[in-house]
Amino acid sequence: MTPKEIPCRIHVLSPATVNQIAAGEVVERPASVIKELVENAIDANARSIRIEITSTGGTVGTLRVIDDGCGMSAAEAILAFTPHATSKITTLEDLHAIHTLGFRGEALASIAAVATVTLTTKPRASGAAAGTRIVIVGGVVRETAEVGAPEGTSVEVADLFFNTPARKRFQKSLNTEIARIHAIMEGICLAHPGISFRLFHNRAEQLVTDRTSEALDTIARLYGSETANTLIPVESVLPFMAISGYISRPSLSRKDTSRIYVAINGRYVSSLVITNAVKAGYATLLPKDRFPVAFFDLRIDTALVDVNVHPTKKLVRLSREKEITEAVRDAVRSALLCHDLIPAAQAPDSLPVQEQIFPGVHEPTPEYSLTGPDPVSVSEPTHAGTALSDRRLRQTELVTGLAPVSPALPPLEVIGQFGGIYILATTGNGELLVIDQHAAHERILYEQVARWAGAELRSQELIVPTILHRSPKDAAMLRELLPALAEEGVVIEEFGSDAFLVRAVPVIFGRLEGTTVIDDLVSDLVTSEPARTVTDRERITRIIACRGAIKAGTVCTQEQCQRIVNQLRLTQSPFTCPHGRPTMIRFSRAELDSMFKRT
Ligand code: ADP
Ligand code: MG
């Protein structure tokens, strides 16, 4: 056979086809078009950006982004639609110092390949009388003209995906698309408080932010000033990065991470490592399955940030990731440490009658609800009607010398105990605190176990070691945890197949009556899912604190209550138990007066 007889199956794709294929990576849906166009406007140094969406019959019609940025000359405008044409980088080295949102030169070419695009532009301060209009349909230039135009750029996208029917069929409902556009715009607005954004859908204004130098103004604009006012500022400057942001108090939390906004060098990104670092900063202030609301603006040395991971640039790769995440965690932690975190009782008139009488912890629900509906529930040991021995309480007293220099709580005077569960106390300035005795004691023990210095302090040998039998599966899990348990003062040895010998327990357990406490502790350990964000030692510490703490239903004398309250004052984080539930709720005199209609 001569080569001529074989038909050649391979050919180079036409530029139009190449662009349509490439478009799939950048332009997935209407929201990606908005993102790319708005980012271009930001890169053009726009001060105000207007987004207009029209829809008819349940589908997106046109998308238009208008900016007052630098604009383009006629020659630039044509080039802008050529694949890999960009004004933002020249060589690969430039990528290591990228200060713009775009740099791949793909977006306009990709969008134009799958839609009808009309670009109208005029360079800023050029003195030119006319601007340029270009119409491109499916990648083919249909019209270029001189037109009267304001300075800046307007890009209108119509008939999106008209020539890629598979992609078009794949589109979700109009509401879903609009919601995605909102989500993207929120991230962009938060990352750029210095730009004013206005978003319209069928001429109805849907989102507005004003130019401001204060990120908090933008947060208030988007989520309500009530939420914004409860946030705590976070500020930290390191040689290679600057952190600024706002985080929620532990009383405002969510069931997922969707309200943790992170901008790195002006780019709204999704970063699991940063999100985890923020959560880690809360340590025990939040339950493991709850997440804070947080807004971060991170300025990181551009050499450490690789944004060229994915065409949409939503993901970033960080060099010196460990230092960066630790800095974020520490900044969150210290911001929380210097704020008063006691949840206040809710104002009465907004609550149902029953809750007016028994106020609980309520999360504010602004227009854009930041909070999940699911309440935090933690099972805790209860113990009806037993009394607490002074000896037991003394054994659990905080080791001195570890107390914070300036306690977060003012001195408290105990009034009494209620229901064997709550300690009632007053502060000097006329506030009433209702304190959950189990949660409070748990916090005290937790900090003790976590901070105790010498191992001999933690552990007491049992005169008669007790034997534990476990199922093979539990035994296997327990075996893994033995070294970590020993570190925390629980000394357990293997004793034949699936049996264990308990030799020593933490001092805070007091004199053991039977093996129940230790048995419960081991059960907690093997049954609770190992949490991703928490180490085994941390888990063990929390369980020891929970099992060692006085139970709800334990009757305490006034002196004993006072002791607990005094110890609580000496802890670093007196406002929540190690599971993140509140230890106390506060009623101010004014709030009580208003509940009794005395105002
Ligand atoms: P990239 O943003 O990655 O450079 P694009 O395809 O999004 O690629 O845009 C190509 C070029 O067109 C940009 O580099 C920029 O010079 C120009 N451009 C796009 N949009 C605007 C705009 N709104 N204002 C001014 N110039 C723009
Ligand atoms: Mg771009």
143 falls in which pLDDT band (50, 70, 90)? very high
Q: Which ligand is nearest to the CA of 39?
A: 2
- Whole-number Å distance, alpha carbon 238 to ligand 2 midpoint, is 31
Q: Which ligand is nearest to the CA of 69?
A: 1
Which pLDDT tens digit goes with each residue over 71-128?
999 999 999 999 888 988 888 788 788 888 888 888 999 999 999 999 999 999 877 7
Q: Which ligand is nearest to the CA of 76?
A: 1
Place of tokens 């509140």: 582
Place of tokens 């197949």: 497
Dihedral sign for Cα 336, 338, 340, 342, please.
positive
Helix (H, G, I), strand (E, B) or coil at 315: coil
Question: How many angstroms separate the most distant Cα atoms in the chain?
Answer: 105
Of 584, 285, 283, 287, residue with least CA distance to 440: 584
The residue nearest atom 16 of ligand 1, judged by CA position, is 87
Q: What is the pTM of this model?
A: 0.66
The residue nearest atom 20 of ligand 1, judged by CA position, is 40
Identify the residues whose C-beta falls under 6 Å from ligand 1.
Answer: 36, 40-41, 43-44, 67, 69-72, 80, 85-88, 102-109, 153
How far apart (Å, rounded) are the C-alpha atoms in residues 381 and 384? 10
Q: Please report the pLDDT score of residue 155 as a whole number.
A: 98
Is-contact 505 462, C-beta < 8 A? yes
- Whole-number Å distance, alpha carbon 35 to ligand 2 midpoint, is 9
How far apart (Å, rounded) are the C-alpha atoms in residues 577 and 562? 18
Q: Please report the pLDDT score of residue 455 as a whole number.
A: 45
Q: Please report the pLDDT score of residue 103 as a whole number.
A: 84
- Whole-number Å distance, alpha carbon 218 to ligand 1 midpoint, is 26
Dihedral sign for Cα 217, 220, 226, 231, please.
negative
The residue nearest atom 27 of ligand 1, judged by CA position, is 40
Atom of ligand 1 nearest to the CA of 155: 23
- Whole-number Å distance, alpha carbon 87 to ligand 1 midpoint, is 7
Q: Please report the pLDDT score of residue 346 as a whole number.
A: 52
Residues in the chain, how many? 599
How far apart (Å, rounded) are the C-alpha atoms in residues 131 and 68? 13
| Sequence-separated (6 or more) residues with CB below 8 Å from residue 521 | 490, 543, 544, 547
Q: Which ligand is nearest to the CA of 103?
A: 1
Q: Please report the pLDDT score of residue 529 as a whole number.
A: 61
Atom of ligand 1 nearest to the CA of 110: 6
- Whole-number Å distance, alpha carbon 44 to ligand 1 midpoint, is 8
How far apart (Å, rounded) are the C-alpha atoms in residues 59 and 301? 42
Mean pLDDT across the stretch 546-567? 85
Place of tokens 């290679």: 240
Output the average pLDDT for the chain: 82
Mean pLDDT across the stretch 559-565? 89
Q: How many Cα atoms within 13 Å fall on the side-chain side of residue 4?
A: 1
Mean pLDDT across the stretch 26-54? 95
Strand order in the sheet with 232-237: 232-237, 241-247, 294-300, 260-264, 267-269
324: tokens are 């960066």
Q: With 60 as the cut, is the pLDDT of residue 599 above it?
A: yes
- Whole-number Å distance, alpha carbon 156 to ligand 1 midpoint, is 14
Choose the weakest-confidence range: 146-160, 193-207, 353-367, 466-480. Answer: 353-367
Q: Please report the pLDDT score of residue 235 as a whole number.
A: 92
Higher-confidence position of 584 and 129 = 584
- Whole-number Å distance, alpha carbon 109 to ligand 2 midpoint, is 10
DSSP-derived secondary structure for 68-127: -S----HHHHHHTTSTT--SS-SSGGGGGG--SS--SS-HHHHHHHTSEEEEEEE-TT--
Mean pLDDT across the stretch 281-287? 88
In terms of Cβ atoms closer than 10 Å to its own Cβ (0-12, 13-18, 19+), residue 301 is middle
Q: Which ligand is nearest to the CA of 132?
A: 1
Q: Phi/psi class of residue 139: alpha, beta or left (left: φ > 0; alpha: ψ in -120 to 50)?
A: left
339 falls in which pLDDT band (50, 70, 90)? confident
Cα dihedral 403, 406, 408, 410, rounded to 10, equals: 100
Residue of 47, 51, 86, 136 to mutate, ligand 1, most atoms within 8 A of C-beta: 86
The residue nearest atom 2 of ligand 1, judged by CA position, is 102
Higher-confidence position of 255 and 117 = 117
Backbone Cα Rg of the chain: 31
Bridge-based pairing state of the strands 584-588 and 116-122: unpaired
Residue of 19, 32, 43 to mutate, ligand 1, most atoms within 8 A of C-beta: 43
Higher-confidence position of 164 and 313 = 164
Of 216, 303, 307, 223, residue with least CA distance to 266: 307
Residue of 63, 108, 126, 310 to mutate, ligand 1, most atoms within 8 A of C-beta: 108
- Whole-number Å distance, alpha carbon 110 to ligand 2 midpoint, is 10
Q: Which residues pair with 116 in a beta bridge?
A: 137, 158
Higher-confidence position of 515 and 395 = 515
Mean pLDDT across the stretch 477-500? 85
Helix (H, G, I), strand (E, B) or coil at 66: strand
Higher-confidence position of 598 and 276 = 276
Choose the weakest-confidence range: 41-50, 232-241, 364-373, 562-571. Answer: 364-373
Q: With 90 as the cut, is the pLDDT of residue 133 above it?
A: yes
How far apart (Å, rounded) are the C-alpha atoms in residues 172 and 164? 15
Q: Please report the pLDDT score of residue 487 as a whole number.
A: 82
293 falls in which pLDDT band (50, 70, 90)? very high
Atom of ligand 1 nearest to the CA of 41: 23
Q: How many Cα atoms within 13 Å fall on the side-chain side of residue 484?
A: 18
- Whole-number Å distance, alpha carbon 114 to ligand 1 midpoint, is 17
How far apart (Å, rounded) are the C-alpha atoms in residues 569 and 420? 21
Q: Please report the pLDDT score of residue 350 as a whole number.
A: 36
Q: From residue 198, how far is each of 185, 204, 325, 445 by CA, in Å?
A: 10, 10, 34, 52
Q: Please report the pLDDT score of residue 379 as a whole number.
A: 47
